[in-house]
Amino acid sequence: MCGIIGYTGKRDVAPLLVQGLRRLEYRGYDSAGIAVAGGRRFEVRKEVGRVADLERTVEANLPGSTGIAHTRWATHGGVTKENAHPHLDNEGRIVVVHNGIIENMAPLKARLIAEGAIFRSETDSEILAHLIAHFYHGYGSFGDSIVPDIAGDPVEAVRLALSRVRGTWGIAVMFLDHPGMIIAARNGSPLVIGLGDGETFIASDPHALVPYTRRVMFMADGELAQLDASGVQTWRLDGGAHTPSIETLEEEWGDGEQGDFPHFMLKEIHEQPEALRQCLSGRVLVEEGAAKLGGLDLSPRELVDISRVTLLGCGTSYHACLVGAMAIEQLARIPATAEIASEFRHRNPVIDPHGLHFAVSQSGETADTLGAVKEIQRKGGRVMGAVNVVGSSIARSCGRGVYLHSGPEMAVASTKAYSNMVAALYLFTLQLARTTHLSAHAGREFAEHLQAIPSLVEQYLADPGPIDEAVRWVCESKVTFFLGRGLSASVAAEGALKLMEVSYIPSIAYPSGEMKHGPIALLEKGSPVICIAPDDALKAKTASNLQECRARGARIILVHTAGDPIAELGDVSIPVPATLEWFTPLLTVLPLQLLAYKAGLALGRDIDRPRNLAKSVTVE
């Protein structure tokens, strides 16, 4: 979603901002803009569309060494140049970029208009430029409260403005009277400060900073910072000084570049064997038939006292939770459930103080999952992160957890992060189950098979089977069905989501036993039904459901275990390597990822940045 990059120092800022925006592109956006503090006015350039379109409008000789920039994912107001950020106050002396949502937009805007503010956009964000200007120019109280005279003080003007706002923000603000200075503030939308030698950065995502510095300070909610070339000063919004600690961004294996692959999605599908190795490395104790997740910091005593496990996530992460919950409940014999974070947080959930919650997220910034974390914590519950992005809001809010170590995932459609979420949850399953019901022998078998998964993924990707024929049928269809039972029902849900996001083909996933209770009405002659039926205890039942579909004219695309005679039931049959039943999701999901990728490609879709989607969903 929206991205921010800002810089103050000695460099030529315009190209740096454009490069920073490019590194934020993967998050998803629909317009972009920059503001440069050059001389007697701010130079603002905005464009609808790609950063490349903006770059064409930014002159090579735009002078200035302080600036802020933004990629916008529309919330309030359409995708137009006027609505793109940055936004200026009436006189063009204050300029703002904003991530987040202002909930009390209507009363603030009405009051500002009554005072003479001229709004040039439909956004909630423009309110900030006018509201900050109100206090900066010393126009006094806003509403009922009396305010101190802080005219001309940029930090206090931002502080007072934000004290009137309800909602979420990550903002960067420049004042024409204070060249070389950027004010930043965070509440609910991430911001990270980058420290260089005689230069300082601000960004919504550390990925934008990596080419310049790895020394960073993560801002916390309720913080305000003043940046200039010599460094940074920070405060709490509600008063008092505050100094966040300086951290060094970890070298993640892999990089955020596309390399020789035509798309990030394909690259990331092929990175899965290595990503899984990174996730499992040092955590599987084969000899002991156990696992060790140091970041959880739970003793066997504490593990055995866990009364239930709740896994929370959205989209693909929720699908990983479904797999994890099934494994935990069946192997550790502890009640375990998967919850859609956006539903959970708003239904006043009962929180068991002896339970353990996991917030599962690639980005670590998903607003709904973060909201669920806060709700659990408010009710005295324990919540750990299962997160990919180090230092992200969810990772920091939870304090403890397990990093996924997928490496940067740039494509909007999640692939390698899904696999690592599932693998991380299997590690936790093993760690927990060995303190409860799982014998050393069974633990060893589990650990050995888990350890072998990266090679099996590699083996499959080297020979992915007849995907192209399946792609042809899927691309011709009005709607595609995904069926599976047990663990494979979760894989079916993930396959349908993936196909939908990347190809825009309506796709429905059902546990295969449910098909006859309604969705079967949609089947027509030739409808593609993608059936996930690995060699497991439920295979025979899935096969019956598959026959019911076939009898109604459906074309069956069957994902099955290599060598299994069930292959005969598919019109197209795609074999995956054999493994322990538990780990089939890590293999059966692969052809579904490739199917989605190739269908998107065949239909000419924007594979890495599908329409309307964002990589990091920071609004509720």
* Token pair of 290 as six digits: 């156990």
Find the binding residues for ligand M6R in span 140-199 (CB under 6 A). Answer: none
Measured from the CB atom, the residue of 280 and 413 that comes closer to ligand M6R is: 413
Shortest reach from residue 349's CB to ligand M6R, in Å: 19
Only one of the segments 411-419, 450-458, 467-475, 545-553 lies at the binding site for ligand M6R (rule: CB under 6 A); that segment is 411-419
Shortest reach from residue 620's CB to ligand M6R, in Å: 12
CA 495/CA 596 separation, integer angstroms: 8
- Give the total of residues touching ligand M6R (CB under 6 A): 17
Measured from the CB atom, the residue of 330 and 377 that comes closer to ligand M6R is: 377
362 touches ligand M6R by CB under 6 A: yes
User: 3-state DSSP helix/strand/coil percent for the chain, to nearest 5?
Assistant: 40, 20, 40
CA 480/CA 523 separation, integer angstroms: 9
290 contact partners, CB below 8 Å, separation of at least 6: 430, 431, 434, 443, 447
3-state DSSP assignment of residue 383: strand
Measured from the CB atom, the residue of 312 and 483 that comes closer to ligand M6R is: 312
CA 555/CA 536 separation, integer angstroms: 23
Q: Which residue do the tokens 């019956």 mark?
A: 544
Measured from the CB atom, the residue of 189 and 435 that comes closer to ligand M6R is: 189
From residue 547, alpha-carbon distances to 477, 527, 532, 576 in Å are 20, 14, 13, 21
Only one of the segments 31-39, 53-61, 346-354, 362-370 lies at the binding site for ligand M6R (rule: CB under 6 A); that segment is 362-370
Q: Which residue do the tokens 């990503």 mark?
A: 275
| C-alpha torsion sign, points 519, 525, 531, 536 | positive
441 contact partners, CB below 8 Å, separation of at least 6: 289
Q: What's the CA angle centered on 45, arms 39 and 51, to 5 degrees?
A: 135
393-413 residues labelled b (16+ CB within 10 A) or e (exposed): bbbbbbeebbbbbbbbbbbbb
CA 185/CA 190 separation, integer angstroms: 9
Measured from the CB atom, the residue of 507 and 616 that comes closer to ligand M6R is: 616
**Chain centroid, CA 525 distance in Å:** 38
When binding is defined by CB under 6 A, the residue of 217, 413, 450, 493 that contacts ligand M6R is 413
Find the binding residues for ligand M6R in span 307-326 (CB under 6 A). Answer: 314-317
Strands 31-37 and 66-72 turn out to be antiparallel
Whether 398 is catalytic is no
From residue 83, alpha-carbon distances to 27, 79, 87, 147, 312 in Å are 19, 7, 8, 31, 34
Shortest reach from residue 388's CB to ligand M6R, in Å: 7
Find the binding residues for ligand M6R in span 515-534 (CB under 6 A). Answer: none
386 touches ligand M6R by CB under 6 A: no
Shortest reach from residue 201's CB to ligand M6R, in Å: 23
579 touches ligand M6R by CB under 6 A: no
617 touches ligand M6R by CB under 6 A: yes
Partnered with residue 44 across adjacent β-strands are 35
Closest CA to 443 of 458, 459, 427, 454: 427
When binding is defined by CB under 6 A, the residue of 83, 189, 369, 490 that contacts ligand M6R is 369
**Chain centroid, CA 357 distance in Å:** 19
Q: What is the pattern of x (binds ligand M6R, CB under 6 A) and - over residues 264-303?
A: ----------------------------------------
CA 221/CA 205 separation, integer angstroms: 15
496 touches ligand M6R by CB under 6 A: no
CA 209/CA 203 separation, integer angstroms: 7
When binding is defined by CB under 6 A, the residue of 83, 310, 361, 512 that contacts ligand M6R is 361
* Token pair of 515 as six digits: 């098909």
Whether 267 is catalytic is no
When binding is defined by CB under 6 A, the residue of 221, 375, 501, 536 that contacts ligand M6R is 501
Of residues 46, 109, 539, 615, which has the active-site annotation? 615
Only one of the segments 201-209, 406-414, 426-434, 581-589 lies at the binding site for ligand M6R (rule: CB under 6 A); that segment is 406-414
Shortest reach from residue 311's CB to ligand M6R, in Å: 12
Question: What is the number of the residue whose Cβ is closest to ligand M6R?
Answer: 315
Only one of the segments 129-137, 285-293, 540-548, 610-618 lies at the binding site for ligand M6R (rule: CB under 6 A); that segment is 610-618
CA 606/CA 264 separation, integer angstroms: 11
Measured from the CB atom, the residue of 66 and 369 that comes closer to ligand M6R is: 369
When binding is defined by CB under 6 A, the residue of 213, 363, 512, 542 that contacts ligand M6R is 363
3-state DSSP assignment of residue 109: helix
Measured from the CB atom, the residue of 501 and 608 that comes closer to ligand M6R is: 501
Instruction: List interacting residues with ligand M6R (CB under 6 A).
Output: 314-317, 361-363, 366, 369, 412-414, 497, 501, 613, 616-617
Catalytic residue numbers read 2, 615
